[in-house]
Structure 1
């Protein structure tokens, strides 16, 4: 099994007996992170129903492939909470994932750190690498993730250089420690704004679905959809007035509340707990 960049994980997931066919070898997957891994805004059953997200979809794909091969279903927990910075992810969620005896942990975060102008990207990456090294030394597989390419976003694209530096660290950390890399930056389909929710920061259901397929590829699994990274058919240009109205609505409904929380040093996830804190079989 190789990582998305072609390197081979060194210790995790070794077995004396081969698994049937190409069945995923992982028995317990725990997702750690922020809103991306929590699943905002993949709500196929409505905004009032529980959120799903790419990590839930990935767990479902892996579990289905295991049961098809006659193995037990994958057990899955999700400890991600929206708004979390990298330090709480690394020092609270990851130890909890290890305590749950996970053999696959996704550690994807840093976006909330990078949105802050004072961020030290090198420090964030160094903190991440120390934790990745410790997790890998325990024989646990790790799935990391790059940041998105935000060049089409009129506001968030000011962080693009920081995201690029962070992504370079991600690939280097993965190569040094034998981790897998989910690469949203490289997904052409995610450059289309139809993959993004109204807040322009979180994915739609289709966006999460495509990321889940990308995660399968990153883990050395064949995707279920041949078109998982195909760009959508282009739409006609949006009239300037309509675009301006949409921008004004976004500033009023999303950007202003976000900036207000930052000034008050609050997060949208301050009062939230993980949506799936205990590993349970994915049916």
Structure 2
């Protein structure tokens, strides 16, 4: 049975950083599903009003850097819960060794679980209806997901099943770049994560079919594809050719445990060293 979550750390890449989900309260910062989940936990039976939260995720990170840089920090903080969602950027690379990725991921999970930390995992998106260039990674993501389910079951981890969350594939759930989620998409994943933590079961999902999409004229499709390739795909390819990542010069947006809600009147002043906003 899941113990009360008093502290939570998110590790990973742009998915957990919350890219494309702008924080209305702070310029140049994002508020993604992990941030939303942290706030939800302050009002959930699975969490606590005193919950403290850190987000170490950085956009563009490959799995090896997440394991080398973020996992040790999470182990040092030793929160009650770590969400560990990573490997998507690796799967985009044609030469990725999916079995080796799974081995790296599992070794990190073992370290977290041996420290007594609950682990919340997330499988990869289904790219069936993505642009052809992104759709090509579907077989690799499918194999990686099979590994992740095995790892989760083997080590008693919680799993957010975004592959099977069919409502997540409606147009309004995705940002203009078609790779990252919109605010609505991040909110849906956060609610799915909370349901998984509270009850051990995901939100009800029916069937395998993707949401219906409106028919568009060929001219409109070609225009949209050209604009997408120019605005999003070409810059991504340019960074790959230069050996750069979108997050190379960035640090974690919330590197230390931070209490989300201010203490109520009469609460003890000593909070064990947890930072406050």
Provide the alpha-carbon RMSD of the alignment: 2.7
Using structure 2 for the length normalisation, give the TM-score: 0.86
Q: Which residue of 2 aligns with 1:138?
A: 115
Unaligned runs of 5+ in 2: 262-277
Deviation at 1:238, TM superposition (A): 2.0
Q: Which residue of 1 aligns with 2:36?
A: 57
Q: Which residue of 1 aligns with 2:237?
A: 259
Distance (Å, rounded) in 2 between the aligned partners of 1:178 and 1:161 = 26
Deviation at 1:96, TM superposition (A): 0.3
Q: Is 1:207 the counterpart of 2:185 in the alignment?
A: yes
Distance (Å, rounded) in 1 between the aligned partners of 2:26 and 2:256 = 23
Deviation at 1:217, TM superposition (A): 2.1
Deviation at 1:101, TM superposition (A): 2.3
Distance (Å, rounded) in 2 between the aligned partners of 1:101 and 1:208 = 25
Distance (Å, rounded) in 1 between the aligned partners of 2:68 and 2:26 = 31
Q: Which residue of 1 aligns with 2:219?
A: 241
Higher relative contact order (CA 8 A, sep 6+): 1
Corresponding residue pairs, total:
260
**The residue matched to 2:42 in structure 1 has which SS?**
helix
Unaligned runs of 5+ in 1: 3-12, 14-24
Question: Displaced runs of 4+ in structure 1, greater than 6 A?
Answer: none
Question: In structure 1, which of residues 40, 64, 75 is the aligned counterpart of residue 52 of structure 2?
Answer: 75
Question: In structure 1, which of residues 151, 156, 172 is the aligned counterpart of residue 150 of structure 2?
Answer: 172
Question: In structure 2, which of residues 50, 70, 94 is the aligned counterpart of residue 93 of structure 1?
Answer: 70
Using structure 1 for the length normalisation, give the TM-score: 0.85
Q: Which residue of 1 aligns with 2:15?
A: 36
Distance (Å, rounded) in 2 between the aligned partners of 1:189 and 1:220 = 21
Distance (Å, rounded) in 1 between the aligned partners of 2:199 and 2:63 = 28
Deviation at 1:122, TM superposition (A): 0.3
